[in-house]
Amino acid sequence: MQKLSEAQAKEYWRRNRSLMIRLMAIWFIVSFGFGILGVDLLNTVQVGGYKLGFWFAQQGSIFVFIGLIFYYVVAMARLDREFGVEED
Amino acid sequence: MDLATTTYIVVGFTFLIYIGIAIAARAGDTREFYVAGGGVHPIANGMATAADWMSAASFISMAGLIGISYNGYGGSVFLMGWTGGYVILAMLLAPYLRKYGKFTVPEFIGDRYYSDTARVVAVICLILCSVTYVIGQMKGIGVAFSRFLETDYETGLYTGMVIVFFYAVLGGMKGITYTQIAQYVVLILAYTIPAIFISLQLTGNPIPQLGLGSTLVGSDTFLLDKLDQVLAETGFKEYTTSVRLSQVNMFAYTASLMIGTAGLPHVIIRFFTVPKVRDARKSAGWALIFIAILYTTAPAVAAMARLNIMQTIEPAPGQNLVIDQRPQWFKTWEQTGLLAIEDKNGDGRLQYVADPERNELVKLDNDILVLANPEIARLPNWIIALVAAGGLAAALSTAAGLLLAISSAISHDLLKSTFYPTISEQMELNASRGAMALAVFGAGYLGLNPPGFAAGTVALAFGLAAASIFPALMMGIFSSRVTREGAVAGMVVGLGVTLFYVFQHKGIMFVADWRFLPGMSPNWFFGIEPNAFGCIGAAINFAVAIGVTAMTREPPERVRNLVQEIRIPAGMTGAASHH
């Protein structure tokens, strides 16, 4: 297993952090944004029997959360390989 | 076969499974006792985490909280709050704490903040939030027994204690992990099967998540529109839009539950049991999938059961249920006190309306939505028995996880790391078993003598975890600058402010007579209710820690190296290699 130089370690952390920030932004938008702050606006849209804002608050945000975590898992596995810090 | 016999058989069978697993999965050393040997598969750990996480409150009370108390949309705070925390865990905490590779949460805080004081403060925070949480579980065990098995509350609690004692003391984390997996299977079947039947009956769609958005059988009206309509006719607020107090309060409530979830030690330590950093990330995702199966079903159960109740009482406007002809399940649950009716206007019929003066369904406990669901839907006895076993599985699995967090904090962080560093491996294992036994009896005692606050405690646990542990962990990972003085001050002030706000509203230790500052109007801080205050406590914790850090000497070199090291997955050598 190779050891990262300080610059490489910094770069790895920077890329990880920017990925986190993007994903946490989506996390915030679907729950606090769609589910709470913008719920009235989204409720004007009807999808099947659901008002869209209500759907995000009670179902949709949870599905997005799962997607976010697994996207992070895959993206980080790629990043780990790129920097040679994967654990196999 | 009558219901009681069926229930005894089903519940007894699940208990036999738990005990069998306990005997097969005994812990041989401290590594097995604290982190199940560190070799748990990420999917298995995800399942165990889901059972660990979903408590009696999630299983028994949540659907009713959403469907009755919070009148629909307002209950979304629980759905988003108790799931969104896993995104935080997966990205911001779990992988780094796993990389650090030790046994407990206070251990990380003690090392990262190079201070025994920080470690002891973390132990105190951990014990406060875990003990308040475990009381609720003990109560849940007693209640589930007394309702379904017609024993008294004490007998139920003692039986639960014996079962937990058996597999937690013998098996430690190893035994707990495998029983939690079995408990997950029991509780998820118990939750989804009645939901599928109810969804089929009302909408013809077997998937509750889709049924909630479908039309009612034999009509073109959507279920949610119908529910909004019948609630409007009886004077209630609209189901799909009624907010909990205010938008600000809902925001704070959701945020508090999210960061509280991420800061609960018994959830975090589950991520110490997987082999790799990558597994910790993956495992959080699997945990959320297993949790989401219940959490996306719950809102369907909430709306469907509420509609069922409304329509049983008033099938068509003005055609109210004749009280003498009420269904059997009414009578059954009246005996338990969860349901009470009073014919106020003496017309012999039942009115369920929002106006408290005219409402004749004078008691409708939240728990009834889940507990009585199978009877309302006329499902067979074995499903009712399964719901009993599911409720017990939810309470037992969470109680065991909490007890492990408490006992490992005592035997590992207080004894081994702080007061008696020369203790041998075997002695530490014995000590952790002793601490576990003490914790079981302590929790049982508090379950038998609830100092009047069992109901308020679970929500308080989240507030405390959010305000004390979460910020310390996050700053420990994301900053190499925050000092021990900063972290300790942040935890103490965050915890103190949160306790102050909660106790100011509800009385010290939830004793109503010990309220203080009675001149303040309720929810005086921007209309935020006490249960939603954890995120404010957390913000104060962050602010204090950063402020104090600016005034104190920066951490030593080795701490900065530690922070650099936990950020990179490779170079890990497995839990407890430092011993």
Does residue B326 form part of some domain?
no
User: Cβ atoms within 10 A of the Cβ of B288, count?
Assistant: 28
Hey, what are A72's tokens?
């992070």
- Report the alpha-carbon distance of residue A53 to residue A60 in Å, rounded: 9
Name residue B511's amino acid. V
CB contact, 8 Å: B208 with chain A?
no
R_g (Cα) of chain B, nearest Å: 24
- Say if residues B241 and B232 touch (Cβ distance below 8 Å): no
Does residue B247 form part of some domain?
yes
Helices (H), B422-509: 425-448, 454-464, 470-478, 484-506
Burial class (CB in 10 A: 0-12, 13-18, 19+), B486: buried
Average of per-residue pLDDT across B481-500? 96
User: B252 to chain A: which residues are within 8 Å by CB?
Assistant: none
ipTM of the complex: 0.95
- Say if residues A48 and B246 touch (Cβ distance below 8 Å): no
Q: What is the pLDDT of residue B576?
A: 41
Say how far residue B321 (Cα) sits from the centre of its chain. 37
Hey, what are B63's tokens?
């659907």
User: A31 to chain B: which residues are within 8 Å by CB?
Assistant: 80, 84, 254
Token pair 């989204």: residue: A42
SS3 state of residue B154: helix
Say whether B296 and A37 touch across the interface (CB within 8 A).
Answer: no
- Say if residues B463 and B531 touch (Cβ distance below 8 Å): yes
- Report the alpha-carbon distance of residue B92 to residue B532 in Å, rounded: 22
User: Cβ atoms within 10 A of the Cβ of B222, count?
Assistant: 20
Q: Choose the closest CB to A59 out of B91, B288, B296.
A: B296
Say whether A57 and B73 touch across the interface (CB within 8 A).
Answer: yes
**Range ranked top by mean pLDDT from A78-87, B98-107, B246-255, B444-453:** B246-255
Average pLDDT for chain B? 89
Name residue B380's amino acid. P
Domain of residue B35: give its range.
3-309+377-566
Q: Choose the closest CB to B215 out of A49, A57, A59.
A: A49
CATH code for the domain of B421: 1.20.1730.10
Q: What is the pLDDT of residue B479?
A: 95
Predicted confidence (pLDDT) per residue in B211-233, tens digit: 999 999 999 999 999 999 999 99
Say whether B251 and A37 touch across the interface (CB within 8 A).
Answer: yes
CB burial of B12-37 (b: ≥16 within 10 Å; e: otherwise) equals eebbeebbebbeebebeebbbbbbbb
The pairing of strands A50-51 and A46-47 is antiparallel
Say whether A87 and B84 touch across the interface (CB within 8 A).
Answer: no
Note every long-range contact of B338-343, with CB atoms under 8 Å and residues 24 or more positions apart, other chains counting: B338/B363, B338/B364, B338/B365, B338/B367, B338/B368, B338/B371, B338/B372, B339/B363, B339/B364, B339/B365, B339/B368, B339/B372
Q: What is the pLDDT of residue A80?
A: 93
Q: Using H for helix, E for strand and C for coil, what is the string for B445-461?
A: HHHHCCCCCHHHHHHHH
Q: Is the pLDDT confidence value at B342 over 90?
A: yes
Q: Choose the closest CB to A87 out of B84, B276, B282.
A: B276
Q: What is the pLDDT of residue B572?
A: 44
- Report the alpha-carbon distance of residue B139 to residue B184 in Å, rounded: 20
Higher-scoring residue by pLDDT: B436, B515: B436
Q: Choose the closest CB to B285 out of A69, A84, A87.
A: A69
Predicted confidence (pLDDT) per residue in A3-36, tens digit: 788 888 899 999 999 999 999 999 999 999 999 9
Helices (H), B219-372: 223-233, 247-263, 265-268, 277-313, 328-336, 368-371
Hey, what are B43's tokens?
């999917």
Q: What is the pLDDT of residue B574?
A: 41
Maximum CA extent, chain B: 80
Predicted confidence (pLDDT) per residue in A26-67, tens digit: 999 999 999 999 999 999 999 999 999 999 999 999 999 999
Q: What is the pLDDT of residue B192?
A: 95
Find the residue in A nearest to B561 (Cα).
A6
Does residue B338 form part of some domain?
no
List, as ranges, residues 8-67 from A with C-beta within 8 Å of B: 9, 12-13, 16, 20, 23-24, 27, 31-32, 35-37, 39-40, 43, 47-51, 54-55, 57-59, 61-63, 65-66
The answer to which of B31-45, B179-193, B411-425 has the lowest mean pLDDT is B411-425
Predicted confidence (pLDDT) per residue in B50-91, tens digit: 999 998 888 988 999 999 989 999 999 999 999 999 999 999
- Report the alpha-carbon distance of residue B242 to residue B205 in Å, rounded: 26
Q: What is the pLDDT of residue B51?
A: 95
What is the least distance, in Å, from the CA of A85 to any CA of chain B?
A: 5
Say whether B84 and A27 touch across the interface (CB within 8 A).
Answer: yes
Average of per-residue pLDDT across B98-126? 93
What is the least distance, in Å, from the CA of A25 to any CA of chain B?
A: 11
CB contact, 8 Å: B289 with chain A?
yes
**Range ranked top by mean pLDDT from B110-124, B317-331, B400-414:** B110-124
Q: What is the pLDDT of residue B510?
A: 67
Percent of chain B with pLDDT over 90: 60
CB contact, 8 Å: B213 with chain A?
yes
Residue B190 — very low, low, confident or very high, per pLDDT cuts 50/70/90? Answer: very high
Q: What is the pLDDT of residue B371?
A: 85
Q: What is the pLDDT of residue B375?
A: 85
Say whether B79 and A58 touch across the interface (CB within 8 A).
Answer: yes
* β-sheet bridge partners, residue B254: none
CB contact, 8 Å: B278 with chain A?
yes
Average of per-residue pLDDT across B417-430? 85
- Report the alpha-carbon distance of residue B265 to residue B122 in Å, rounded: 10
Residue B578 — very low, low, confident or very high, per pLDDT cuts 50/70/90? Answer: very low
Q: Choose the closest CB to A72 out of B91, B295, B571.
A: B91
Q: Choose the closest CB to A54 out of B215, B240, B247.
A: B240
Sequence-ordered list of residues with C-beta below 8 angstroms from that of A14, at least 6 positions apart, any chain: none
Residue B425 — very low, low, confident or very high, per pLDDT cuts 50/70/90? Answer: confident
Q: What is the pLDDT of residue B524?
A: 83
Average of per-residue pLDDT across B291-298? 97
Does residue B340 form part of some domain?
no
Token pair 């049983």: residue: B312
Say whether B90 and A54 touch across the interface (CB within 8 A).
Answer: no
Does residue B578 form part of some domain?
no
CB contact, 8 Å: A75 with chain B?
no
Residue B337 — very low, low, confident or very high, per pLDDT cuts 50/70/90? Answer: confident
List, as ranges, residues 528-567 from B with C-beta within 8 Å of A: 564, 567
Structural domain total, chain B: 1
- DSSP annotation of B39 reads -
Predicted confidence (pLDDT) per residue in B540-571, tens digit: 999 999 999 999 999 999 999 999 999 998 86
Sequence-ordered list of residues with C-beta below 8 angstroms from that of B476, at least 6 positions apart, any chain: B108, B109, B112, B113, B482, B487, B563
